[in-house]
Structure 1
């Protein structure tokens, strides 16, 4: 199958400006295409990753993708998907985020020499206000701009002129890339349809109605239960390991619902149809083995963080499954128990019952004593059954952590001050 057939099978196409024309263009020759992201933060999360994975797929089919970092558009703010005005960042913060995102993109996609990273600040910074209004603003009809979903959804609450003109800036990007790099296709999320079509319209006005340019959007990703994809109780799942540890990242994918796992294998891995169909059969026949989830976690974690991160995550998982937390390093404790109930304690020895109460494991000392004597409490992987036991925080994990478990699964973490 060609790239478009592959994307259709993966369920990765929502809207196209000219499906027949794009299919013919791709059949005739390799094309250049692009997708952009604004530096509103210093890391992408997994939701941002979706369109860029599609760029990678195009590259593997021999096409030439461009990744655009929005140094210019990021200083303005895309109104897409927002109900109110975005708080503008300082240019210093925008630049910091530009550098961080560029580094992240190079790490993720730099291994493919056919992917080029560009920054729209480079071609926007020297355009004067008068040139912008005369050369580009004149070509946009306000009535048409108001009809775009991204603007229409904001009219009741109000939208600033700054955010209103965002679609012109994004259209200018497409025109620049078409004119200077012969980029013919822009890809984005479903919320970018209005901005993308503004770009194709601008090119047709400036280069002629026969200019072969196209837009394609990706469906909104939702989970089987109808909730938003990519969110956990702790917030977004980031690609930066300082924000979301590689173990948490791996676990996010491993814990996916059987109803979602095949969809995510299609979106986020480069496994082919036969491989994914075989995993789909295993989900039906032996769901308790969670083979599809394991493959998903391995594939995505290796792509984003490397093979060593997969090995590390699986090692931590095996240790926790067996309850051998003593084998964890101090750094691994921080990863494995990020998100469990956590309290601070002093670095002096503390009675086990007092420790349980301080961590909120139980609500009363009577219950705490019962849990200890009944063998329900382990500290740093060792069962404690004597209520007179003193716990010395300095004994494990470089004196930084104490791990308390009640029963088989309920963990509590003490950070030592």
Structure 2
């Protein structure tokens, strides 16, 4: 008996009456042996497939368990009063399917809190999908969220499921929802109200049931007053608001976070276990961290890289900005020059830091500095700031 993989076995047949088989009987046995071989091979493949599916299911359960452990609220670092208030709110909302609006500056950990809420709640075994509303144009964002049908626009060579459809039964996390255009706000509001939508270029309504968690670094109440954000959408998404404090308002947590990142990056970069000197820790604790936890994490990774095989992270391994700025963000190093020159130096540093904080987003930086976009562009050109 043969299969595509080669010889499987032998079919033994005996004619007890006549001692031998006729050509017709031999041909029938050949056909029969082929059929039996296929049946045996299919049974073997089915068994392997079933075993593989069982193995995948077990692996999937283990991965889900690992993810849930990773995003356990006890694993979020912070013991300051401000963070204890956040934990208290999160614990109240995470066992529900209530819509949550997470507000806070860039780098405060909004996506981490969103994952904690999802993976410790009733939807933890369901999908969790993420989209940054400020990273895509309006048309691309609509296609990402709601999908599109083949031929609906140039480049749409096949049907594509949107994130809302992919997340059906689970959670959609919309990061930086404050960057969403007015037209997209209307479409999102309709989906949240009706629980259905049409893909771009499609005519069929798709029904979904999802939990929405949104985040923003803007003051949406102010944006509503200015007419930049729809009031009805704001009330729809902010059923349960959670405000994350900036790192400068939870300085007690800087040492804990620094120690955590130090352990993380010495392991990742295969460096010997190290510790921060008291002076280095003082500098880290005094700095304002405009980029918040993310900026601190980057600072520690840089320091570990510079330290090499040394077992102490000292002042010399820290970036210049942490050594030249005081707690209030003003230069503490001696600065020579006239008042005008010193003021310009400080202004240049503030503009540079704000652009770093917004990752080069000029419009957002201008809003934070209270400037027009053109006013900011003029200062960038004046101080020759490289982005």
* TM-score (structure 1 length as normaliser): 0.28
The structure with more strand, counted as a fraction of residues: 1
